[in-house]
Amino acid sequence: MMAPQKRSAEEAESLLVGVRCIVFDIEGTTTPISFVKDTLYPYVRNNIEDYLNKNFENADLQKAIAALRDQAAKEKEEKVEGVVEIPSGDASKEDVVKAVCDNVRWQMDGDRKTTELKALQGMIWNDAYESTEIKGELFEDVGPMLKMLAEEGFQLYVYSSGSIESQKLLFTYSSQGDLSDVFAGYFDTTTGSKNESASYKKIATEIGNEPKDILFLTDIPQEAEAAVSAGLRSALVIRPGNAELTDEHLQNFACIERFDELYGDEDDEDDIKRFAGDNGEAEDDEDEEEEGDEEDDDGEEDDGEDA
């Protein structure tokens, strides 16, 4: 069950009071959802065959293929519809490569997020990032804010359905430079589903902090509810391209459109200037702000949602 987190006028000052750790979702939170759909996924589809052929002897790749093979065999037994089986290791390379391609494309068609699939996708993305064919896309406030929060002593973590390997790649090879230093750790679905409160309890234990000292930021209300059920705090992040939130979600959770809103309304402008290295000349009058979509009116919006 969800414990509503209504923000009183006082609480709206900052979401960070008493917080020691911040756990970030990626898709829809730090990164446009379109990055995954329009860049990462198509890259796998278009390059998987090449990748498998070039790296077939690699032990890690063989491990990933074995995991997919076991997964498919298990699902075949469970009579999962359309499952593509992968022949055993003594089959020809050509047959195995074809089956793995078919299996992966089938899983991706179904928008599956299995750990086995993610592991192989992560390996393919690794190549793409290292060869700079892909850069991790971040909303413009993300890099500066992560650095600032880390400098201020917050312990920062990632919890995403993407494999830990692919999480690290995104932040190491990001469009805003190498941000891997800001994070104290990474969690993926090997910890558990993001919709299960048990996962967040586990994360709190692994981080070594009280759940109440941890703030989880995500675009998905179900995930926020699961985190709150585990005793964490949570806020919903509203980003361009995200699914729209219902009025109920807007009322029950603190909502932010940019990470600088974590600091609350009063300090907002100063913080923006501080982390942007901006002397504020162009920002003095927020009412005149014409840059549009990303500029927040968080004070009014948050206060308006207070019940």
Between 27 and 225, CB nearer to Mg ion: 27
To the nearest 10°, report the CA torsion of 283, 286, 290, 296: 110
Binding-site size, Mg ion (CB under 5 A): 4
Q: Which residue has the tokens 């985190």?
A: 227
> Please, which residues have CB within 8 angstroms of residue 54's CB and are 6 or more apart in sequence?
none
3-state secondary structure of 122: helix
Between 28 and 221, CB nearer to Mg ion: 28
- CB 30, min distance to Mg ion, A: 9
Total Cβ atoms within 10 A of residue 171: 26
- CB 77, min distance to Mg ion, A: 32
- 219 makes contact with Mg ion (CB under 5 A): yes
Cβ density class 71-100: b for 16+ within 10 Å, e for less: bbeebeeeeeeebbebeeeeeeeeebbbbb
Tell me which residues in 27-66 interact with Mg ion (CB under 5 A): 27-28
- CB 29, min distance to Mg ion, A: 5
Residues 113, 116: Cα–Cα separation, whole Å:
8
Between 219 and 271, CB nearer to Mg ion: 219
Between 51 and 159, CB nearer to Mg ion: 159
Q: What are phi and psi of 6, to 5 degrees?
A: -80, 140
Which of 222, 191, 189, 217 lies closest to 204, judged by CA?
A: 191
Annotated binding site for Mg(2+): 25, 27, 219
Which of 83, 89, 85, 28 lies closest to 63, judged by CA?
A: 89
Residues 70, 231: Cα–Cα separation, whole Å:
36
Tell me which residues in 14-33 interact with Mg ion (CB under 5 A): 25, 27-28
Residues 198, 196: Cα–Cα separation, whole Å:
5
Binding segment for Mg ion among 11-19, 52-60, 118-126, 217-225 (CB under 5 A)?
217-225
- CB 118, min distance to Mg ion, A: 14
Binding segment for Mg ion among 173-181, 214-222, 224-232, 278-286 (CB under 5 A)?
214-222
3-state secondary structure of 255: strand
Annotated binding site: 25, 27, 160-161, 194, 219
Tell me which residues in 113-142 interact with Mg ion (CB under 5 A): none
Between 28 and 143, CB nearer to Mg ion: 28
- CB 180, min distance to Mg ion, A: 20
Q: What are phi and psi of 144, to 5 degrees?
A: -60, -40
3-state secondary structure of 254: strand
Between 219 and 302, CB nearer to Mg ion: 219
- CB 85, min distance to Mg ion, A: 31
Q: What are phi and psi of 266, to 5 degrees?
A: -65, -40
- 298 makes contact with Mg ion (CB under 5 A): no
- CB 237, min distance to Mg ion, A: 8
Between 27 and 298, CB nearer to Mg ion: 27
Tell me which residues in 154-213 interact with Mg ion (CB under 5 A): none
- 257 makes contact with Mg ion (CB under 5 A): no
| Residues binding Mg ion (CB under 5 A) | 25, 27-28, 219
